[in-house]
Amino acid sequence: MKNKWTIIPASLLLLTGCAQEQNKATEPEQSNEQSTGQTETATNANESGQSESGTTESSNQEEPLSAEEQKHAALIEALPEDASSTDWNLILVNRENPLPEGYETNLVEVEPQKEIDERIVEPFQNWVAAAKEAGYQLYFASGYRSVERQQNNYDRSVNNYMKEGYSEAEAIEKTEEYIAVPRSSEHHTGLAVDIVDQEWIASGKGLIPEYDTQPSQHWLEETMADYGFILRYPEGTSDLTGINYESWHFRYVGKENAQYIVEQGLVLEQYIELLKERETSTQE
């Protein structure tokens, strides 16, 4: 009961005001009855719909949220409770966010010359084992890559395009469609893996978007979140990620984060924005 009254201070004031006036005036019985009647009606209205209709009607301060704002608020509401934009598995590396100087990672060689962050070895190996059980022989094309190595790949690609007759500017542009500028590749973190299958590689096709025509790629996409991975550069998101569609590039973010990202159809950039928004709103 007590709560009810404290929730509706505006309406209560209004009622009190009315009642006092009536008392002062010492009106005849009839109008007293009338005022009692009014009070009751008002009270009933407050009791029945205090927070919904009552508050909405009486408060002019807040505009109702648009459908888009409601959707956005619901997204923030549904974020994994313990996730933080500063979590190790959510490090964002892209063109605007180059790998921090001095970033250190403990690497484990899971295949000859293929290293990944030791913290993702278990989920990665479980995923590969599950693929095998499902009948897919995966080919682990790339894991950790040093900045120097990325620089070499980058330079080689630019040179190749120039040999094909492109200008330097064109060669750079074409290179950057698929090869990240050194320090801006997620592979520097040891949390990203390029995966196709053995058959695909044996047929001479490399890391190309059309790998998504293969059943193994479908299987990878269907199961990735269970192992904490996301498809990092989904089709049609290059304006958000800065990287064209890569059907083979998966990124470890942890199971809870991955499940949320996949369910909501987001990219990592958007997910981190949502987390940051929640963090600033709770600081205020």
C-beta closer to Zn ion: residue 115 or 194: 194
Q: Considering only the stretches 39-47, 71-79, 110-118, 247-255, report the one whose residues sit in contact with Zn ion under the rule CB under 5 A.
A: 247-255
Number of neighbouring beta carbons within 10 Å of residue 16: 11
C-beta closer to Zn ion: residue 247 or 257: 247
Residue tagged active-site, from 170, 235, 246, 269? 246
C-beta closer to Zn ion: residue 8 or 197: 197
Q: Of residues 249, 266, 268, 271, which one binds Zn ion by CB under 5 A?
A: 249
104 is catalytic: no
Could you give the string, one character per residue 1-40, with x where binding to Zn ion holds by CB under 5 A and - elsewhere? ----------------------------------------
Residues 165-184 that bind Zn ion (CB under 5 A): none
Confirm or reject binding of residue 115 to Zn ion (CB under 5 A): no
C-beta closer to Zn ion: residue 188 or 249: 249
Q: Of residues 83, 194, 200, 234, which one binds Zn ion by CB under 5 A?
A: 194
Residue showing the smallest CB distance to Zn ion in the complex: 249
Least distance from C-beta 251 to Zn ion, angstroms?
A: 8
Q: Which residues are catalytic?
A: 246
**Which residues make up the interface to Zn ion (CB under 5 A)?**
194, 249
